[in-house]
Amino acid sequence: MSSRLPASSGLLSTHRVLTLPESPAGGAPTIRAKALLFHDPRSAQLLDHVDRIARSDASVLVVGETGTGKELIARHIHAESGRRGPFVAVNCGAFSESLIDAELFGHEAGAFTGATQARAGWFEASQGGTLFLDEIGDLPQSLQVKLLRVLQERQVVRLGSRKPIALDVRLVAATNIDLARAVRAQHFRADLYYRLNVAAVDLPPLRERPGDILPLAEHFMDLYAQRLGQPPARLSTAARHALLSYAWPGNIRELENVVHFALIVARLGVIEPCDLKLVPALLPQPPVASTVAVAAGTPQPPSASSSLQAVLHGLLAQGAPGLYQTVEAALVRSAFEQAHENQVQAARLLGVTRNTLRTLLKRHGLLADPAHHPTHSLPPHAESPWRYAQ
């Protein structure tokens, strides 16, 4: 959804804001950015680039950190494309490998246990519109082959069928990982990467477009003041400085949460720095001591990588049996523990997709491998990982 900023925000009314549709009441929390502004010069250039891409039918790959507004960009591309069909958003990381095949390409009745009736997949559901595949880097390699064929032939074949169905679907994919690096590591198919990356959109993190920080903060202040039934609030000079000085590791979604909390606890309608729930402990700290030591000419201890290499040389010299499996298991276990058993964070630490991580976790006994998947249906009352909009 695209609109103009309200005049009361104190910003130029010509600046555009992209927002997500309202979620149903009682819906699950989301880590998606809910608003995107283009006040910063870099953002304005980005919007111009996106507008030019939108008018074509080329596949688009949007790359950006979590919470930067990748789905908002995808929705804007669809809105400006002139396509009359629906916009369908799908999170590739929300499904198991056995489930996403049927969901993506559809299936016929009897195609697998529990398939009592035929069902169209997401590609068919997007006919005449746009299919947004978020977290495309989590797509299993077996399905990457099928996706590549669909993009090349512009048709899909349901599971259990031999009849191709012609498609008129524009694909927009998004990822928060370096797909080029995943290609080099053979975790992502190079041919699919080049097919998706026809038109690239590099969405910078919020810290690299500081001109958007205060306009976004004021947008969320207006939004939550209305929801809370409060009169409009304002930011003190010190609070503005604090917002601009913070690095925003959680990007726009973190900014929204910070503003929401600040409005709840602020006194007399003025938000002060003490009302801003910023978490500097999450930010990388500069190696001050190391920098001083180098400047002073003090000998430095060996780096972590050189120490690791020395250990590996020692193990190789000893002829340790099963060395590769031992090292791999130790690396995977360490990343999993470091991420407090959060698969998404552990995968990011290792630079692999979540499905690759799950395979590694199962291989080394760190994750139970379900004996079977009884059906390809979503569990009762589960939130659907795909969103449909006209």
Q: What is the pLDDT of residues 83-93, one digit of tens each?
A: 999 999 998 87
The pTM of the full predicted model, rounded to 2 decimals, is 0.69
Q: Could you tell me what percent of the chain has a pLDDT over 70?
A: 79
> What is the pLDDT, as a whole number, of residue 383?
43
- Residues 224-239 pLDDT 10s: 999 999 998 999 999 9
What is the band of 389 on the pLDDT scale with cuts at 50, 70, 90? low
**Considering only 88-102, 254-268, 324-338, which range has the smallest mean pLDDT?**
88-102
Is the pLDDT at 388 greater than 80? The verdict is: no
Q: Do residues 236 and 276 touch, judged by C-beta distance below 8 A?
A: no
Q: What is the mean pLDDT of residues 193-211?
A: 94
Tell whether the model's pLDDT for residue 38 goes beyond 60: yes
Residues of the chain with pLDDT > 90: what percent?
A: 40
- Report which of 83, 36, 20, 30 is spatially closest to residue 219, judged by C-alpha positions: 36
Give the lowest-confidence range in 58-72, 201-215, 264-278, 336-350.
Answer: 336-350
Mean pLDDT of 117-124: 84
Instruction: Identify the pLDDT of residue 327.
Output: 85
Residue 275 has pLDDT above 70, yes or no: yes
